[in-house]
């Protein structure tokens, strides 16, 4: 499996990271090095093996479906790059 520049550009887009056109060849080469390393996993016989979901056998605990927290609008907004009138502010999302 080899990653070309257009695949690298697609991955950058999916990850929402802006990568300049001239940086794509180096990025694709790095991906190929890492994926080449990962290819070793194809040597392992995984027939009938369950993919791990939890490293320690446990059932997630449940709790009453009630409100346990909240009413902290100021704290929630305290670190926002842009907050107005009690909301997070972002560039226009819909035309």
Partner 1 sequence: MTDLNTLTLADARDALRRGDTTSKALTEACLKAIDGAGALNAFVHHTPEIALERAAEADKRIAAGDAPDMCGLPIGIKDLFCTEGVPSQAASRILEGFLPQYESTITAQLKSAGAVMLGKLNMDEFAMGSSNETSVYGNAVNPWRRDGTDTQLTPGGSSGGSASAVAADLCLAATGTDTGGSIRQPAAFTGIVGIKPTYGRCSRWGVVAFASSLDQAGPMTKTVRDSAIMLGAMCGHDPKDSTSADLPVPDFEAALTGDIRGKKIGIPREYRVEGMPADIEKLWDDGAAMLRDAGAEIVDITLPHTKYALPAYYVIAPAEASSNLARYDGVRFGHRAKLDHGDGITEMYEKTRAEGFGAEVQRRVMVGTYVLSAGFYDAYYNRARKVRTLIKKDFEDVFAQGVDAILTPATPSAAFGLGEMSDADPVQMYLNDVFTVTVNMAGLPGIAVPTGLDKQGLPLGLQLIGRPWEEADLLSSAYALEQAAGFVAKPEKWW
Q: How far apart are CA 43 and CA 62, in angstroms?
A: 40
Largest CA distance in the chain: 57
Convert residues 35-64 into a mask of x (bound to partner 1 by CB under 8 A) and - (unbound): x-xxxxxxxx-x--xxxxxxxx-x-xx-x-
The yes or no reply on residue 2 touching partner 1 (CB under 8 A) is no
Q: Among 4, 6, 25, 80, which residue sits at the site for partner 1 (rule: CB under 8 A)?
A: 80
Q: Among 72, 84, 85, 86, which residue sits at the site for partner 1 (rule: CB under 8 A)?
A: 72
Phi-psi region of 85 (alpha: psi -120 to 50; beta: other; left: phi over 0): left
Partners of 83 in the beta sheet?
Answer: 88
- The answer to whether 1 and 35 are in contact (CB under 8 A) is yes
For partner 1, the binding residues (CB under 8 A) are: 3, 8, 11-12, 14-19, 27, 30-31, 33-35, 37-44, 46, 49-56, 58, 60-61, 63, 72, 75-76, 78-82, 88, 90-93
């Amino acid at each position: 499996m080899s990653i070309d520049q257009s695949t690298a550009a697609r991955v950058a887009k999916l990850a929402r990271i802006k990568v300049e056109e001239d940086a794509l060849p180096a990025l694709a080469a790095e991906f190929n090095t890492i994926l080449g390393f990962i290819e070793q996993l194809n040597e392992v016989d995984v027939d009938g093996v369950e993919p791990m979901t939890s490293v320690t056998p446990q059932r997630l605990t449940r709790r009453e479906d009630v409100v346990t927290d909240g009413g902290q609008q100021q704290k929630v907004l305290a670190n926002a790059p842009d907050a107005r009138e009690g909301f997070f502010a972002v560039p226009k999302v819909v035309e």
